[in-house]
Structure 1
Amino acid sequence: MQDLDPAALDCLAALADEGSFERAAQRLSITQSAVSQRLRGLEQAVGQLLVVRSRPLRLTEPGKLLLRAARQWQALRADVARELGESLRAQARLAIAVNADSLATWVLPALDGVVQQGLADAARDGLGLELVVDDQDFTHEWLRQGQVLGCVSTVSKPLRGCTLTALGAMRYIAVASPGFVERRLGGDAAGGLDAHNFAAMPFIVFNRKDDMQALWVERAFGVRKPRLDERYVPSSEAYVRAVAMGWGIGVVPELQVREALARGELLALRPEVGVEVALHWHQWKLGAQAAAGADARPASAALDRVGAALVAGARRALGP
């Protein structure tokens, strides 16, 4: 394999982000022809097809492998520029994948110091933070495909070339509005929901990847693969609002509804039952240190700062 052209790697990353040659050209301030030429040169250098020209375009497996290299190169380049006191003409992208419940609770406070520092040093900050949201069981796939440099995930085994740090456990509980408890559960939050009536009760579900409600029912009543009456609300904040409005039963992070419970706006159902979800932080080891073994620290200072902030913030919010 020939040496890889950094400009061609930038093109590959832009194509992955933008989904078309036209938008990638606009992002890079070059012509579509130049994007095509650089991509062809990269494909010739590795001897494999990297991009399927569909709408939207998609990367092949070799393309995903090189995308990881492109992300890592961009992060390292930004670090070098920052150390030299230079500003990058184009802002690099530092993308991380997080689950919606973490984003709605502890992620933003955890990252606030890092972001504020970047704003204060905007002239030299060469990285643009991007938060990609997916279910906690699927964020790891974004990392594997090279779309992000780090992720918050339930996966407990690191990819080769990545580090893994335990963040703590997020506890999920079942809640409902006082009106719902009165109408549907006989006013009994502690025991009104049982193995005989749960199937007739509406449950609020985030999206079709979300199985937290079924996991809670399994834990509460010992029912394998329960069938639920589901109503979908794909937003963490709107989800809690729908539960408070009496749309149905929600299974939510205790951290997210602690204040609503204290105010009596929501009631915990069978409060002794909870589902603990262990979360982990994964990030790529960048540069020469990636070959130094599993205990090597990442070479990218920016990614290291983001990871350290997330680890500290999660442990403050979630506990051990």
Structure 2
Amino acid sequence: MNEFDPAALECLAALADELGFERAAQRLAITQSAVSQRLRALEAQVGQPLVVRSRPLRLTEAGKVLLRFARQLQALRVDVARELGERVAPQSRLAIAVNADSLATWVLPALDGLVQQGLQEGYGLELVVDDQDFTHDSLRQGAVLGCVSTVAEALQGCRVQPLGVMRYVAVASPRFLATQLPQGLHAGSFADTPFLVFNRKDDTQAQWVSQAFGVRSPRLRERFVPSSEAYVRAAVMGWGVGVAPEIQIRPWVASGDLLVLQPEVSVDVALYWHQWQLQGRDALLDRIGQALAQGARLALA
């Protein structure tokens, strides 16, 4: 197969990011017609469609395969520019997927040094947020070059590194316990107790109840709060019982604004860093993985 046109691959990546021709053209500073022409040439080369022209636009399975290659090519370009001491192209970015709780706690401090350096060298870092059980899908589909995930097995062409364990504990405000659970949370009361849930992918609360009370597939009264920071705030305000990262709720436990329920019960989530294996000396993706591993060692169990 002939080599792919790098400009056409850049268009495919922009389309995947921006989900439309107009925004992709704006990002690349070219016309929509040029984006369409390059995409058609790439589709003609592989002999099948690469995008479904819908609103929003989405990639076909063949498009996802080429997107993985386009992402890796972008990362290699960044590394070459850095080694040559050249400023990276403004649209260059490395995308990684992380779960919201890690982002709210240990990921930003871990990456701060690299981001500050990136301000000088010109490359961009994009953090894509999803549930830790689903970030791996973004890596498989080519949307990102690395991810923090609960999946332990590496994809072909990737490598994986254990990060540590994020421990989740159940908490509630003293006022909530006094008014809603005067007898405490027990096997006879959990079904009528509101539990805070991050989103519909989140089953941490059900896992905690299963461990605490030996109930399989418990049905809970759910109150959805789709933000890690707002989730803890809702628990402090007495919206319900939350099951949150122990490292995140320490200040509120220390101040007495939150009380830990059954401290002996926890949901321990093992996290792993996955990344595509790219060739190159001092590759930026490798440095991101190293920074995350060091940050996780300092923060996680």
Instruction: Report if TM-score (shorter chain) is over 0.5.
Output: yes
Alpha-carbon distance in structure 1 between the residues aligned to 2:281 and 2:27: 27
- The correspondence of residues 22-61 of structure 1 with structure 2, limited to 5 A, is 22-61=22-61
State the number of aligned residues.
301
Q: Which amino acid is the alignment partner of residue 33 of structure 2?
A: S
Indicate yes or no: 2:129 matched with 1:147: no
Contact 1:14–1:27 (CA under 8 A) maintained in structure 2 = yes
- Residues 282-305 of structure 1 deviation map (CA, whole Å, 9 limit, x = unaligned): 00012xx4xxxxxxxx76711111
Structure 1 residue 181: Cα displacement? 1.1
Contact 2:95–2:128 (CA under 8 A) maintained in structure 1 = yes
- Residues 60-111 of structure 1 deviation map (CA, whole Å, 9 limit, x = unaligned): 0010010010011011011111111112343311000000000111001111
Alpha-carbon distance in structure 2 between the residues aligned to 1:205 and 1:89: 41
Match of 1:224 among 216, 225, 235: 216
Q: 1:272 — aligned with what? A: 264
C-alpha root-mean-square deviation of aligned residues, in Å? 1.2
Q: SS at the partner of 1:146? A: coil
Alpha-carbon distance in structure 2 between the residues aligned to 1:88 and 1:231: 45
Tell me the TM-score normalised to structure 2 length: 0.97
Q: SS at the partner of 2:201? A: coil
Over the matched positions of the two proteins, sequence identity in percent amounts to: 71
Q: 1:281 — aligned with what? A: 273
Q: 2:195 — aligned with what? A: 203
Q: 1:307 — aligned with what? A: 289
Q: 2:100 — aligned with what? A: 100
- The correspondence of residues 286-301 of structure 1 with structure 2, limited to 5 A, is 286=278, 289=279, 301=283
- Residues 259-292 of structure 1 deviation map (CA, whole Å, 9 limit, x = unaligned): 1111101000111100100000000012xx4xxx
Indicate yes or no: 2:157 matched with 1:165: no
Structure 1 residue 7: Cα displacement? 0.3
- Which runs of no fewer than 5 residues in structure 1 stay unpaired? 290-297
Indicate yes or no: 2:179 matched with 1:183: yes
CA gap of 1:93–1:85, structure 2 versus 1, over 3 A, is same
Q: 2:249 — aligned with what? A: 257
Indicate yes or no: 2:125 matched with 1:129: yes
Q: Which amino acid is the alignment partner of residue 87 of structure 2?
A: S
Q: SS at the partner of 2:38? A: helix
Q: SS at the partner of 1:170? A: strand
Q: 2:87 — aligned with what? A: 87
After the TM superposition, which of the residue ranges 93-102 and 76-85 deviates more from structure 2?
Answer: 76-85
Contact 1:173–1:254 (CA under 8 A) maintained in structure 2 = yes
Aligned structure 1 segments of 4 or more residues deviating by more than 4 angstroms: none
Alpha-carbon distance in structure 1 between the residues aligned to 2:84 and 2:164: 37
Alpha-carbon distance in structure 2 between the residues aligned to 1:200 and 1:232: 16
Q: 1:5 — aligned with what? A: 5
Alpha-carbon distance in structure 2 between the residues aligned to 1:64 and 1:109: 31
Indicate yes or no: 2:97 matched with 1:73: no
Alpha-carbon distance in structure 1 between the residues aligned to 2:53 and 2:277: 31
Tell me the TM-score normalised to structure 1 length: 0.92
Structure 1 residue 45: Cα displacement? 1.3
Q: SS at the partner of 1:173? A: strand
Contact 2:28–2:91 (CA under 8 A) maintained in structure 1 = no
Alpha-carbon distance in structure 2 between the residues aligned to 1:268 and 1:88: 48
After the TM superposition, which of the residue ranges 81-90 and 262-271 deviates more from structure 2?
Answer: 81-90
After the TM superposition, which of the residue ranges 78-87 and 243-252 deviates more from structure 2?
Answer: 78-87
